[in-house]
């Protein structure tokens, strides 16, 4: 194998993100992802063209989402010779897809790839309990009237109660929000600090819209032209009036609907390539995807569920010989304001850095003015599998349109995992 090649981020496209049960009530993972891929194909003249590989996924998926990536790329008008791979790592899905494709580009296995993700709460799969499912299987296999009648033996109407999708962790029975409440308590994160971070996210996102930052990043879908969760008129006073969302009984709950991401529908995609592939087609190179890291922790036995990105960041910094302060932008997924604040506090905590990260000295603090400067998930919303591609695409454009050089991406995921990346500006 020869020298590793650079991984070019050519550009991105996403549909507007919508709060669940609003703009995309009639859409599916496939229709949304196909629209995002189609917008990307239109933007970079890829209609009918073969891309070497597409990787994408959804966290909440139906059985009809079989090979979602492949079906979506075909709907988008890419060449049928383009292979599609579906994958899932919760909220880190599309960033993980980009890292996997990037590794293939770096080694020369492929020259181009599209990473993406889609999720819809509005079209969540509703399933029945095991007893009724097994009854339906027996019924489908029955060949005689007697066998069909036997399949219904002992039936009760209680079996028809559907099991709604849940964000509970299988190993703990707690939701992500409940886990984050425990983290906020452990790290002494105040309600006021969480609300302030959420307010900044909305203000930065609104300003980004006003300045036209999103004009070439968003493609309309189902008559929707912009994210419908951004609240430019919100305030700390309005946020303070919100009741706790995950701990309503103890009187200590600090996570609310205002400082937590809403349930969201949406899809996003990013085009990656080798430098030669991009140049041959006259396409831009906005930035380089330089490095990535995935990590996990033992959240079921005391580690904070959403703290694994601290491990990923630390290991990635070791590999890159960079410090935490060597970045011009920090793009941290805002699953909850408390998660971001816990992460920042852990980076500066000597005991945590020693015992968890294996460092003799803390990673230190960052310049908060460099954090999520165009807003993030608290403002835009969080369609689980789409968030990584949204952040990666926006980060590449942010670097390309500024005189800054380097950005750090950090995404927490369910299951006690974290996906991180370093993005660097391409030379002008």
Instruction: Tell me the three state secondary structure of residue 269.
Output: strand
Asked if 134 is an active-site residue, the reply is: no
Distance CA 408, CA 373 (A): 12
- CA-nearest of 108, 109, 101, 54 to 289 is 101
Phi then psi for 329, rounded to 5 degrees?
Answer: -140, 145
Catalytic residue, candidates 180, 342, 353, 412? 412
DSSP letter at 14 equals E
Distance CA 230, CA 240 (A): 18
Q: Buried (b) or exposed (e) across 151-185, using 16+ Cβ within 10 A?
A: beeeeeeebeeeeeeeeebeeeebbbbbbbbbbbe
Asked if 221 is an active-site residue, the reply is: no
Relative to beta strand 406-413, strand 18-19 is unpaired
Catalytic residue, candidates 18, 91, 180, 221? 91
**C-beta contacts of 66-72 below 8 A and 24+ residues apart:** 68/29, 68/30, 68/33, 68/118, 69/33, 69/116, 71/30, 71/34, 72/30, 72/33, 72/34, 72/37, 72/116, 72/118
Asked if 382 is an active-site residue, the reply is: yes
**Within 10 A of 48 (CB to CB), how many other CB atoms are there?**
10
- Burial zone of 282 (CB within 10 Å; 0-12 exposed, 13-18 middle, 19+ buried): exposed
Q: How many helices (H) and strands (E) does the chain have?
A: 14, 10
The answer to whether the beta carbons of residues 191 and 253 sit under 8 Å apart is: no
**Residues taking part in catalysis:** 91, 382, 412
């Amino acid at each position: 194998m020869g020298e590793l090649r650079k991984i070019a981020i050519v550009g991105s496209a996403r549909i507007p993100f919508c709060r669940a049960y609003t703009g995309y009530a009639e859409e599916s993972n496939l229709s949304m992802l196909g629209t995002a891929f189609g917008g990307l194909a239109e933007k970079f003249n890829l209609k009918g063209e073969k891309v070497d590989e597409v990787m994408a996924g959804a966290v909440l998926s139906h059985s009809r989402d079989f090979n979602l990536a492949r079906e979506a790329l075909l709907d988008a008008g890419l060449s049928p010779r383009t292979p599609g791979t579906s994958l899932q790592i919760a909220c880190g899905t599309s960033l993980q897809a980009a890292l996997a494709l990037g590794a293939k580009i770096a080694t020369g296995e492929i020259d181009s790839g599209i990473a993406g993700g889609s999720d819809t709460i509005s079209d969540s799969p509703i399933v029945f309990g095991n007893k009724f499912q097994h009854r339906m299987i027996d019924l489908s296999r029955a060949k005689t009237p007697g066998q069909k009648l036997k399949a219904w033996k002992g039936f009760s109407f209680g079996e028809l109660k559907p099991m709604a999708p849940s964000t509970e962790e299988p190993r703990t029975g707690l939701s992500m929000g409940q886990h984050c409440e425990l983290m906020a308590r452990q790290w002494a994160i105040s309600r006021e600090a969480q609300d302030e971070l959420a307010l900044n996210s909305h203000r930065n996102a609104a300003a980004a819209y006003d300045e036209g930052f999103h004009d070439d990043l968003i493609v309309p879908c189902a008559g929707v032209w912009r994210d419908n969760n951004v609240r430019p008129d919100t305030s700390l006073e309005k946020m303070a009036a919100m009741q706790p969302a995950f701990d309503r009984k103890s009187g200590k709950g600090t996570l609310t609907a205002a400082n937590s991401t809403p349930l969201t529908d949406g899809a996003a995609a990013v085009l990656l390539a080798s430098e030669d592939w991009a140049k041959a087609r006259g396409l831009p190179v906005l930035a380089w995807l330089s490095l990535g890291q995935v990590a996990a922790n033992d959240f079921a036995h005391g580690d904070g569920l959403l703290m694994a990105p601290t491990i990923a960041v630390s290991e990635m910094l070791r590999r890159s010989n960079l410090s935490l302060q060597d970045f011009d932008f920090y793009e941290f997924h805002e699953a909850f304001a408390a998660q971001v604040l816990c992460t920042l506090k852990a980076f500066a905590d000597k005991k945590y850095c020693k015992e968890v990260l294996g460092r003799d000295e803390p990673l230190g603090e960052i310049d908060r003015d460099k954090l999520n400067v165009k807003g993030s998930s608290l403002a835009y919303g969080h369609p689980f599998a789409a968030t990584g591609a949204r952040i990666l695409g926006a980060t590449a454009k942010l670097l390309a349109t500024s005189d800054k050089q380097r950005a750090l991406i950090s995404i927490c995921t369910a299951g006690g995992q974290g996906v991180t990346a370093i993005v660097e500006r391409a030379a002008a």
